[in-house]
Amino acid sequence: AAVAAPSAVHVNQLGYLPDGPKRATVVTASTTALPWQLRDASGGTAASGTTTAGGADAASGDSTQLVDFSSYRGTGTGYTLTVDGRTSHPFDIRAGLYDGLRADAMSFFYQQRSGTPIEARLAGAAYARPAGHLGVAPNQGDTSVPCQPGVCDYARDVRGGWYDAGDQGKYVVNGGIAAWQLVNSFERARRAGHAAALGDSTLRVPERGNKVPDVLDEGRWELEFLMRMQIPDGKPLAGMAFHKIHDAAWTGLPTRPEQDSQPRELHPASTAATLNLAATAAQCARVYAPYDAAFAARCLASARRAWTAAQAHPDRLAPDSDGTGGGAYGDTRVGDEFYWAAAELYATTKESRYRDAVTASPFHTADVFTAAGFAWHDTAALGRITLATVPNGLPATDLTRVRASVVSAADGYLATMGRQGYAVPLTTDGYVWGSNGQVANNASVIAVAHELTRQPRYRTGALEALDYLLGRNVLGQSYITGYGDHTALNQHHRFWAHQYDASLPNPPAGSFAGGPNAALQDPVAQEKLAGCKPAKCYIDDIGSYSTNEVAINWNAPLAWLVAFAAER
């Protein structure tokens, strides 16, 4: 595989929807309008016009001009845009634009599954591998995993779930938000009348043909793992969830999952993990009920136990320091998780005790949609979205306020987009570890505002965030493998490590890079990106884990957003 050099005319390299916005950005010193031409595959001029000022883009430092060809109504493949003698990568304009990416961004999760073989017939021969972490040598987990010394005196079967990212750790807080977003994408699509697009036999997963929507099959793979992380009755801290399970020491790259010989360990139970379990298991009880009543009941029982345990132990806080052999995922502020869990339990059960927990939470009236966006450590927005969209018994005035808070957050993100050359719902200080995930999360809030209001500007905003992720950005970089000419191809991963071992594959199509991170938190970024403007702090190198890793909590909002964009 090879990628083309970037072009100075930055477009969505996958393309544009016929009825969607169609804008591009050109980096230029010119402060006067420039002529542009849209050319079709045969080279004929399909449309033409002049640019408008994009201004100085603060996050990149570039001065920009904007092209707007939204009024063009033709369809086809192989279009290019020429501005001032410079030509973009080719792109399509067609209604089915996002169908392939919808499946690939979701199928990423199958390929990250632990505890099951990845089958060639589903993933392609290059991506097939034996099951990882089923206790088969040299693996030392995950069928009987002991605790770290002093944490517990027994072992637990915590097989399954998804590997978090390029490493093979499994973390309840990150698994929680990612599972919630996949299941939520189905719940939202069903409300919108588009459930069939995520239905049975729409994904390359082993459960195809079982009459359950494939995205729910995928979510269940993680939910079963999350419930295995719950401490059984009769043990100290019963009902709490272990924060994480991972290797005792970091493994090198490459390390195929089935070849990992490190001991695996359970880390102390945490309030944050327990509330992630309560929230996602409560959502599970609601969404899976029509397909598997017994599973839904098991989810609800687990959620209730987790909630009760978290209330009894509100101060088991995961530290930032526990980062040997796996990510720390420290979280010392758990009021947001309490709110999220209460909201999910209330939406599912309608019981007054959970409603009281919702309305008593300071997060119920706080501005939970920050400029930075919600994240694995900042989950109140998930609860707010559920309360705004899932029928519940909140008083009408409260419900109106809850819904208005989503719409006003979306207006804020749209305003942020409008102030920049690249229409990204991220402020200049938002280029953190996983910034692309934050772009997708904020775009999903804009999409929920579209559901609540039906106002076209919110669909436009959500689609333009995808333009950013697919190449309309300062680097002219598509951050999604396989979609675009100049794409991410060497994301940090222990199996898809082609850059380090030519016998291994690159990441599969639909893999989403973490994205620009101004803090330069790895040696490659520090060496290659010193002095970068925030939006440029990205390098497609396997060693740059702080800018170029994949992770389940980034692919999940991408899959969510693309499912929204693909609806027609």
Instruction: Just list the catalytic residues.
Output: 540, 549
Backbone phi, then psi, for 316, in 5-degree steps? -90, 90
CB under 6 A: which stretch of 135-143, 164-172, 331-339, 355-363 binds ligand 9MR?
164-172
Omega of the bond leading into 92 within 30 degrees of 0 (cis): no
Least distance (Å) between residue 405 CB and ligand 9MR: 24
Residue whose Cβ sits closest to ligand 9MR? 327
| By CB under 6 A, residue 545 contacts ligand 9MR | yes
Torsion angle (degrees, nearest 10) of CA 449, 455, 459, 465: -70
| By CB under 6 A, residue 57 contacts ligand 9MR | no
Contact with ligand 9MR (CB under 6 A) among 549, 555, 561, 565: 549
CB under 6 A: which stretch of 145-153, 163-171, 334-342, 347-355 binds ligand 9MR?
163-171
Tokens 């073989």, located at residue? 117
Binding mask 495-534 for ligand 9MR (x = CB under 6 A): -------------------x--------------------
Q: Which is nearer to ligand 9MR, 267 or 364 (CB)?
A: 267
Least distance (Å) between residue 379 CB and ligand 9MR: 13
The rounded distance, in Å, linking the Cα atoms of 184 and 216 is: 10
Least distance (Å) between residue 432 CB and ligand 9MR: 7
CB under 6 A: which stretch of 185-193, 415-423, 497-505, 543-551 binds ligand 9MR?
543-551
Least distance (Å) between residue 47 CB and ligand 9MR: 41
Q: Which is nearer to ligand 9MR, 92 or 549 (CB)?
A: 549
Q: Which of residues 241-270 bind ligand 9MR (CB under 6 A)?
A: none
Q: Which is nearer to ligand 9MR, 115 or 437 (CB)?
A: 437
The rounded distance, in Å, linking the Cα atoms of 34 and 48 is: 11
Work out the angle at residue 420's Cα, subtended by the Cα atoms of residues 92 and 489, and round it to the nearest 5 degrees. Answer: 50
CB under 6 A: which stretch of 160-168, 207-215, 286-294, 447-455 binds ligand 9MR?
160-168
CB under 6 A: which stretch of 14-22, 159-167, 394-402, 450-458 binds ligand 9MR?
159-167
CB under 6 A: which stretch of 162-170, 190-198, 361-369, 503-511 binds ligand 9MR?
162-170
Q: Which is nearer to ligand 9MR, 202 or 499 (CB)?
A: 499
Task: List the structure tokens of 93.
Answer: 């304009």
Omega of the bond leading into 138 within 30 degrees of 0 (cis): yes
Q: Which is nearer to ligand 9MR, 172 or 410 (CB)?
A: 172
Q: Which is nearer to ligand 9MR, 320 or 351 (CB)?
A: 320
Least distance (Å) between residue 142 CB and ligand 9MR: 16
Tokens 């999760």, located at residue? 109
Task: List the structure tokens of 406.
Answer: 């989503």
| By CB under 6 A, residue 434 contacts ligand 9MR | yes
Helix residue ranges per DSSP H, 43-171:
99-111, 120-123
Residue 352: how many CB atoms within 10 A of its CB? 10
38 beta partners? 47, 81
Contact with ligand 9MR (CB under 6 A) among 551, 559, 562, 563: 551
Q: In angstroms, how far is the first alpha carbon of the chain from the final one?
A: 32
The rounded distance, in Å, linking the Cα atoms of 384 and 397 is: 15
Contact with ligand 9MR (CB under 6 A) among 180, 433, 458, 468: 433
The rounded distance, in Å, linking the Cα atoms of 558 and 568 is: 18
Contact with ligand 9MR (CB under 6 A) among 164, 322, 331, 337: 164
Least distance (Å) between residue 549 CB and ligand 9MR: 4
Least distance (Å) between residue 545 CB and ligand 9MR: 6
Task: List the structure tokens of 46.
Answer: 């399909």
Q: Which is nearer to ligand 9MR, 368 or 513 (CB)?
A: 513
Q: Which is nearer to ligand 9MR, 250 or 291 (CB)?
A: 250
3-state secondary structure of 56: strand
The rounded distance, in Å, linking the Cα atoms of 466 and 361 is: 34
The rounded distance, in Å, linking the Cα atoms of 437 and 559 is: 11
Least distance (Å) between residue 162 CB and ligand 9MR: 12
In order of 12, 499, 504, the CA distances from 484 in angstroms are: 8, 20, 22
Task: Tell me which amino acid residue 372 is.
Answer: A
| CA neighbours closer than 13 Å in the CB half-sphere of residue 219 | 32
The rounded distance, in Å, linking the Cα atoms of 552 and 165 is: 6
Is 316 within 8 Å of 247 (Cβ atoms)? no
3-state secondary structure of 455: coil
Q: Which is nearer to ligand 9MR, 104 or 549 (CB)?
A: 549
Least distance (Å) between residue 174 CB and ligand 9MR: 7
Is 7 within 8 Å of 88 (Cβ atoms)? yes
Contact with ligand 9MR (CB under 6 A) among 167, 207, 378, 541: 167
In order of 378, 379, 471, 519, the CA distances from 515 in angstroms are: 19, 21, 12, 12
Contact with ligand 9MR (CB under 6 A) among 165, 266, 341, 358: 165
Q: Which is nearer to ligand 9MR, 226 or 394 (CB)?
A: 226
Tokens 């191809």, located at residue? 489
Q: Which is nearer to ligand 9MR, 112 or 487 (CB)?
A: 112
Omega of the bond leading into 362 within 30 degrees of 0 (cis): no
CB under 6 A: which stretch of 10-18, 393-401, 498-506, 545-553 binds ligand 9MR?
545-553
Least distance (Å) between residue 360 CB and ligand 9MR: 29
Least distance (Å) between residue 283 CB and ligand 9MR: 22
Q: Which of residues 299-338 bind ligand 9MR (CB under 6 A)?
A: 327-328
Q: How many residues form the binding site for ligand 9MR (CB under 6 A)?
A: 12
Cβ neighbourhood burial of 517 (10 Å; 0-12, 13-18, 19+):
buried
The rounded distance, in Å, linking the Cα atoms of 502 and 254 is: 11
Tokens 């290019």, located at residue? 80
Question: Which residues of this chain interact with ligand 9MR, rule CB under 6 A?
Answer: 164-165, 167, 169, 327-328, 433-434, 514, 545, 549, 551
